[in-house]
Each structure stands twice: as structure tokens, then as C-alpha cells.
Structure 1
Amino acid sequence: MTKIFRERLHGTAHWWRRALAWSGHERHTALLIGKSALAATLAWFVAHHLMQAQSPAFAPFSAVLVMQTTVYQSVLHSLRYTGAVVVGVAVQTALALTLGPGWPAFALVALVTLGIGRWAKLGSQGAQVPTAAFFAFATFVAAEPGDRLAQLGQIVLLVLIGCATATAVHLALVPPMRHRSAEFGIGILARAFAGLLADATSALREEERGEERTGRLDHTDALIAQARADLRTAQESVSFNPRRYLRGHRGHTSFDGYATVLEALVRTLYQMASLHRSLDQWHEEHERHGDGAFLRNYARFLDALQEFAQVLGDLDEDRLPGQARRLGRLAEEAGELRHALAEEAVRQGLPLADPSRPYGVLVVEATRLWEECRRASDALRQWVES
């Protein structure tokens, strides 16, 4: 037990050292925890000490619930959560006043609010419709008949106080500009692309690593989803964020260039999957002969793309102009190798039109991969220049 405790203590200390030293996930998490605690405390103070509300916990609970990674998400969750609470309380009030505070009214409240909670517009806050209705019903039953409407109105007011407090704290204390999230998402896909390129060159040089290659392909969809989520977080971090207007702020207010690069990488991953399937089928069904020069040229072309992917995998806005220029040069070099590859295939008289042989597919995929890399390079260059 002592050893386990020491290991956990060491892990916690390491986590906090990273949070203090590096502006990454740990620091963002620590800031979010601190801001949530502060918002909850302020909301409790207003509800309990200033308002002397009978159910003050609604305010800090609401503040913590709507505190999200970005200001945009906090505002969105606040609106949805407030809407869900208002709907739940309104439905409960209407049915309880009509049918009385008995169990038939509660059953009907549960049925109606659970159905409303499925409304897609409420998103993840849909579950708060029945939750608010149940708390409101309990308040309705416990309150004196002449005080019921005031108590129900107070619930809505406390929710508004909690949401407003959380949003104000989020805006006032270091609202995050998550530019690095976009770069992290691109890095995820670029490194996956580089790995698939390395596996393909090994296959072409008869150095098989089939299990590793299959593992990379199996995780492609999950990596794409993660990268798109990271880009979306970066885009949302700009909305409603006052830091974008501060003098001296160097961050981007648009991520169009990164978005273009990310989608180009998505297409390259799908193209690499097609290329790998062709290579695997070819190895199983055919013997190679007379195509050594073509395959060596193809491997060199993939090596050039791998170097391009490695630069994308280390994308950094502080070094972006230089990286954009280097990516442009690498794209040009890959284009020259692709052109030489196509000429070599024609010179050797390889059966490009034979669907049972991979040569035609390899040439087509080479063109598509190069076009996506050039598109990514051009997008970054134009974005930097603008």
C-alpha cells in the first residue's frame, strides 16, 4: 500500500509540474477546476448569504455544470441548460396546478419531461428537463400553497445566477485560446500518415510489417474524429473570447488554413488504406518480376512524402512561416519524383490498365497523394501570407 501511495503521489506531483511548466492539457484542466470552484463559491454566496434562498445549491450546481473548456461552449451549455430547466419547471407547474400534488401528476410530469428531454436542440442538457421537473415537484409539494409559485420562480432565478456567474468567471479569468489544439489535431493525422508511408515503403522493399500496418489502419477513423474535435475546440475558443481583441495578441482568429490541411490529411489516410489493400492483395496473388526500378522510384517518392508528413506533424505557429516554405519545397520535390515515376512506368511498359496488377493503382494513388500534399502546402502558404 505504501509503494502504491508513493507512486500515486509521484504521479500527482509530476502532473502538477507539467501544469505549471507547460501550457497544455494539464494546465487547462487545472485552470478549469479552479474557475469552476470559484464560480461555485460565488454562486453559493449570492444564493445563500444574499438571497437566503431555500434551495441555494441550485446556483453552484448550475455554475459547475455549465463551465466548459471554451467560453463558447460555456455560453452554449448555459443557454441549453437554462432552457431545459425553464421547460421542466413550466411543465411541472402546469400539471401540478391542474392535477394537484399527487402521484398521478408526478407520473404525467415524468412522462412528458422525459419525452421533451429527447429533443435534439437541447443536446446533452436534455436530461436536465426531467431533473428540474422532479426537483420542482418536490419544492411544490413541500411549499405552502400560497408560496409555491414564488419557490418555483426562485429555482429558475438560482439557475440563472449560477450560469451567469460561471460565464462571468470564465470571461474574466484567462479564457483559453486553444490554438495549439488545432496543431495537435493536425499532428495526430500527420504522424499517422507518416507511419503508413513508412509501412508502405517497407512493403515495396519486401520488409513486411503487416500486423503493425493493419493496426494503424484500424485506428484511422478514431484518429480522424479526435483531430476534427481538436480543430473544433480551437475554432470555438475564439468565439465570445475577449482575448482576441487585446492589443498584442498574436493568435489566430481564423483556422481556415489549418482546416484545409486537416481535411487534406484525412483524404491521404483513406488513400493510403486503398494503397495498402492493393499491395497486400498483390503480395498474396502475384510474383514480382521486371519492376524493380519502378518500385525503387515509388519507395523514394513515398520517402519524400514521409518527410513532408513529419514536418506537418511538428507544426508550430511560432515557426509557421519557415515550415510553410519548407513544405512547399518538399511538395515540389515529391512532384518531381511522381513525374519521374509515371515516366518510368511507361518506359518499362508496365501493365497500368490491368486491374489485377497494382501498377496503375500505384500511379493513380501517387498522383492523388501528391495533390493533397500540395493542397495542404498551398493552404498554409496562403494563410501565412494573408
Structure 2
Amino acid sequence: MCRAVRGPGEERDGLLLQCKGAAAAAAAWWVAAWLLPSTVTAFATFTALLALQSTVYRSLWDSAQYLGAMALGTAGAAAFGSTAGVHVWSVGVLAFIALIGARFQLLGRQGAQVPVVALFAFAGGGGDIDYIGHLVAAAAIGVCCGLAAHLAVAPSPHTDTAQEMTADLTARAENLLRALARTAEQETGEESSPEYWARRSQELATRAARVRAAVDREQENTRLNPRRPWSSAEESLHRCHETISMTERLGTHIRSIARALTHAPRTPETARVLTSYAKLLHATADALQCLRPPQGPEDPDALRGHIEDAMRRYHDATAAVREDRPDTPGEWPVYGTALNEAVRILEEIEHTADRTRDGSPEPCRSE
């Protein structure tokens, strides 16, 4: 409650949604009680709450699906009520048919309402046509009250929150790169364990999924919203998606590098190679930091310089590997994997820079 009062965000939106739900339910009950029999008044209140979802788009879509489900359910109830009448066998047959209708994909999650409405109208109202008409009217009143409350005070998009979450996600990826660089320089305790890096990579992937879901909600919130943001805000959410996708791919590359480093031999002969590789990872992390996702680089020339510096580090590390000529079985694939994955991370950074701003540095090459 305190966070909802303190400032805008998900907490305030949730509290506002509850307030709108209470107002819509009360208004639906009042209108239904004024126009319809008391036997269907509660149905209007229930439908008003169902029509209120987290976004205007979701509310409209769910309401349309619910009205479609209700149309199927009441049509079946009316058909059986006017022909077979209410019997044990007719209730069973109607339920079976309604359950088949519930699987109609266009109705989505509201398909489950088909048998509920059908049995409520048939068994509860005896299949009477007048009762079914009142039931449909109550549902229409509830939907109108719910949507009116939502449109009157539509939830505002929170693009700043989405940007902050995305920026935090890429900062975590940058920290992982620097931690890998420290591991390459000096093998230490837990960080030398493959399980440790598998866990850190999975944490990054889990966090990325959570941030993507939040950005998806914000994008949905811009659809059909009377408080629709400017196009720049929509572009910002698009850049967030690009950055999240990049971070997910970086997580795969980081895990591959960690696996290679934990299998790399630690000998005096390989110390120079690992030191050179650590400098490459630090330079790559600097390039990621300069990218400033999801906004994109403020200084494209600085990003270009960081990428060029990282490529110089790559060539230094490659030269160190060739000069030391590792002859331990399986040692060449280990270093080759680590070097290739580092270059792929640089390419991901460059690709994302292309997508988040006009113009881009020259493509990096590993040759």
C-alpha cells in the first residue's frame, strides 16, 4: 500500500484496478437491479469484475471472448430448453456439447465459461427463454460497466520502469563478463566450478524471461489505450526487446566461455594466454557498458573505439596461443572455443547497436 501511494508503478496500478473493480461491480449491480429481475443481478456484478484486466487491450479481448462463450452457452441452453426440457439426460448431453464448445480456440481461456453459462442458464433457469434473455442482458451490463471504469481511468504505460529493468539485466551480463575475466586471470574457489557458472548463466536467463514478460505487459498496455504514449515510448519498448534478446544470447556465449575456462590447463606456459584473454573479456565488457542498452550508445565513436580495442585484444590472445603452441590433448579446442565466443559477443553488441540507433561502427572481424 505504501509503495502504491509513494509513486507510479505496478503497485499503484494494482490498487487502482481494485478500486475500479469495486466501482464497476457496484455500478453493474445497481443498473441490473433497476432493469432486470433479482435472479440475474449477481451475474452482472461477476461479469463486471471479469471485464477488468490489467490492460485495456486485455480487457477488451477477454470481454469479447467471454461474450462469445456466453453466446454459445446460452444458445445451447435455449435450444435444449425449448425442445427436450430439463431432465437428467438432457443436462448431461448439454454439458457434453458445451465442453466440446469450450475447446474452441478463438475463445481462449474464456472457453471454460461455455459449459458454466450453459448449465447455469439451463438448470438454474429451467431453460426459459425470458430468463436466458435477462442473463445475457446482465452480462452485457457488467461488461459495459467494467470497460467504462477501465477506459475512464486507463492504466498509464511505465516505459521508464521497463528501461530500468532492461538496463539492470545488461549490467548483470557485464558483471558476468568481468567475473569471467578475473577467473581467467586467477582461478579462485567457487568460480572455478562449472556448476557455479551454470547457475549464474541460468540466473541470467531467468531474469531475462522475467524482464521480457514485464516489457510485454507494457507493450500490451499501449494498445487501444486512451493514454497512448508517444511513438518514442513505443520505440523505447522495442529497444528493450532487442536488448533482452541480446542478453539471452550473451548468456549462452558466457556459459560456453566459462565451460572452456574451467577446463583450460593452469600452467606457467598458459599464464600469458589466460592473461591476454582476460584483457579481451574486460575490453568486451567495456564495449557492452558503452552500448548503454536499451537506449543505445551516446557516443558511437567511443563504442567503435571499444570494439576496435577488444579486437586488438583478440588478436593478442590469438597470437599468444599460437606462440605457446599448446600440445596438451584437447587444449586447442578449449582456447578456440573461448576466443570464438568472445568475438560472437562483440558481434552481438554491434548488432544491437545497429538496431537501437542510426548508424553503426564497422563490423568486427575475427580473421
TM-score (norm 2): 0.84
After TM superposition, the structure 1 = structure 2 runs for residues 151-230 of structure 1, keeping only pairs within 5 Å, are: 151-180=131-160, 182-187=162-167, 189-205=169-185, 206-208=187-189, 209=191, 210=193, 211-230=195-214
- Greater Cα offset, 29-38 or 340-349: 340-349
Asked whether the equivalents of residues 167 and 293 of structure 2 are also in contact (C-alpha less than 8 Å), the reply is yes
Instruction: Say which of 275, 281, 292 aligns to 1:296.
Output: 275
The one-letter amino acid of 2:314's match is L
After TM superposition, the structure 1 = structure 2 runs for residues 185-334 of structure 1, keeping only pairs within 5 Å, are: 185-187=165-167, 189-205=169-185, 206-208=187-189, 209=191, 210=193, 211-244=195-228, 252-254=233-235, 255-280=237-262, 282-283=263-264, 286-307=265-286, 320=295, 324-325=297-298, 329-330=302-303, 332-334=305-307
Asked whether the equivalents of residues 70 and 113 of structure 2 are also in contact (C-alpha less than 8 Å), the reply is yes
> 1:3: which partner in 2?
none
The one-letter amino acid of 1:369's match is I
> 1:337: which partner in 2?
310
> 2:362: which partner in 1?
none
Q: 1:99 to 1:364 in 2, by over 3 A?
A: same
Runs of 4+ in 1 over 4 A off after TM superposition: 307-315, 350-356
RMSD of the TM alignment (CA)? 3.0
- Whole-angstrom distance in 2 between the partners of 1:124 and 1:188: 34
After superposition, the C-alpha distances for 1:299-337 in whole angstroms (9 at most, x for unaligned) are 23323444555677886xxxx4xx631587346414422
Displacement of 1:114 in angstroms is 1.8
Asked whether the equivalents of residues 117 and 130 of structure 1 are also in contact (C-alpha less than 8 Å), the reply is yes
Asked whether the equivalents of residues 280 and 317 of structure 2 are also in contact (C-alpha less than 8 Å), the reply is no
After superposition, the C-alpha distances for 1:13-45 in whole angstroms (9 at most, x for unaligned) are xxx221112222211211111111111121111
SS at match of 2:96: helix
Q: 1:49 to 1:180 in 2, by over 3 A?
A: farther
- Whole-angstrom distance in 2 between the partners of 1:173 and 1:326: 40
Pair 1:363-2:339 in alignment: yes
When the two structures are aligned, how many residues end up with a matched partner?
351
> 1:74: which partner in 2?
59
Instruction: Say which of 354, 359, 362 aligns to 1:378.
Output: 354
- Whole-angstrom distance in 1 between the partners of 2:198 and 2:337: 20
Q: 1:343 to 1:195 in 2, by over 3 A?
A: closer
- Whole-angstrom distance in 1 between the partners of 2:301 and 2:22: 47
After superposition, the C-alpha distances for 1:81-129 in whole angstroms (9 at most, x for unaligned) are 1111211221222233332101111111221222222333222212111
SS at match of 2:257: helix
Asked whether the equivalents of residues 181 and 231 of structure 1 are also in contact (C-alpha less than 8 Å), the reply is no
- Whole-angstrom distance in 2 between the partners of 1:164 and 1:238: 21
Pair 1:105-2:87 in alignment: no
> 1:13: which partner in 2?
none
- Whole-angstrom distance in 2 between the partners of 1:116 and 1:103: 20
The one-letter amino acid of 2:334's match is P
> 1:22: which partner in 2?
7
Displacement of 1:381 in angstroms is 2.4
After superposition, the C-alpha distances for 1:150-193 in whole angstroms (9 at most, x for unaligned) are 21122122222212222221111143213245325524632442
Displacement of 1:380 in angstroms is 2.5
- Whole-angstrom distance in 2 between the partners of 1:380 and 1:291: 39
TM-score (norm 1): 0.80
The one-letter amino acid of 1:30's match is L
The one-letter amino acid of 2:309's match is E
SS at match of 2:40: coil
- Whole-angstrom distance in 2 between the partners of 1:114 and 1:363: 57
- Identity over aligned pairs, percent: 28
Q: 1:92 to 1:330 in 2, by over 3 A?
A: same
- Whole-angstrom distance in 2 between the partners of 1:100 and 1:367: 74
Q: 1:131 to 1:55 in 2, by over 3 A?
A: same
Displacement of 1:365 in angstroms is 0.8
